[in-house]
Amino acid sequence: MIAFVSGGARSGKSRFAEQLARDWHRQSGGKRYYLATARVADDEMADRIARHRRERGEGWITLEEPRLLDEALDSVEPGSTLLLDCLTLWASQWLFGSGFSEAEGERMLAALLGKVRQNTIGLVVVSNDINEDLPPADPETWRYLAFLQGRHRQLATEADRVVEVVAGVPLDWKGMAER
C-alpha cells in the first residue's frame, strides 16, 4: 500500500501521516520505519527535527537519507511500514545538493515505488503543497517547483490513497474506500 499525504506548512500532514502509518503497522505487523530526508543545516532545523521526533514517540526505527531513497529501502524489512517525511526537502537536495537531473529523480522515485510493491511495504509519503501561489520569478525556483510537482503527480498516480490535510483535517482525493 502506498499513501501520499500533502498539505501546507503546519497543516498537520505529518501528524496525520504518522497516525496512518501506525494504523497500517498495527494491521500488517512487521517493523515501523521513519525515513528522514532532512539534514541539520541550522539550529532551527535541529529543533524542528527534534520536535518531530518527540511527537512521533517510541517504536520507530529512524533511517536518514537525503537523496538515494531507493537505496535506503534496502534496510527496510519486507512487510514493514515506512513513513517518508518529506519529499519537499528531498527534491531540493536532489536538484541542488547533488546535481542529479529531473529524469534521474523520476526514475529513482519509480524504483522506490517498485521496491515498495515488491516487498509488500506500507509506504506513507509526506510532502508540502507549494504550487498555489504566484509562480516564482526566477528560473531555478521554477525548475524546483516543476520537478516537485512532477513527483507529486507521479506519486498521486501510483498511490492507493491520496490525502490533502487542511488544519489537521484529512480530505481524501483517492482511495477513500481504504479508510
Partner 1 sequence: MQLFIGGACAGKQEAVKSRFPEASWCRLVPGRPLDIWREQAMLGTTLVVTGWLPWLEEALRSETDDDALYLMLVEELQALPEAERKDALDVVLILPEVGRGIVPMAAGDRRLRDLVGRLGQEAVAHAARVWYVRHGLVQGLGQPGNTGDSR
- The least CB distance from residue 77 to partner 1, in Å, is 30
Q: Taking CB under 8 A as the rule, does residue 128 contact partner 1?
A: no
The radius of gyration of the chain's CA atoms, rounded to the nearest angstrom, is 15
52 catalytic? Reply is yes
For 18, 105, 131, the CA distances from 1, given in Å and listed in that order, are: 15, 21, 26
* Binding characters for partner 1, 47-86, by CB under 8 A (x = yes): ----------------------------------------
Nearer to partner 1, 51 or 153 (CB): 153
Extended strands (E) in 38-145 = 61-64, 81-85, 122-128
Alpha-carbon span 29 to 70, nearest angstrom: 22
Q: Taking CB under 8 A as the rule, does residue 6 contact partner 1?
A: yes
Cβ pair 172, 162 in contact under 8 A:
yes
Binding range to partner 1, per CB under 8 A, among 19-27, 36-44, 93-101, 157-165? 157-165
Alpha-carbon span 127 to 123, nearest angstrom: 13
- For the record, the C-alpha cell of 141 comes out as 525556483
Residue 148 DSSP one-character state: H
- The least CB distance from residue 148 to partner 1, in Å, is 8
- The least CB distance from residue 7 to partner 1, in Å, is 11
134, 138, 167, 177: which one binds partner 1 (CB under 8 A) = 134
Q: Which amino acid is at 72?
A: A
Which residues of the shown chain bind partner 1 in the complex (CB under 8 A)? 4, 6, 8, 129, 131-135, 145-146, 149-150, 152-153, 155-157, 162, 164, 173-174
- The residues assigned a catalytic role are 52
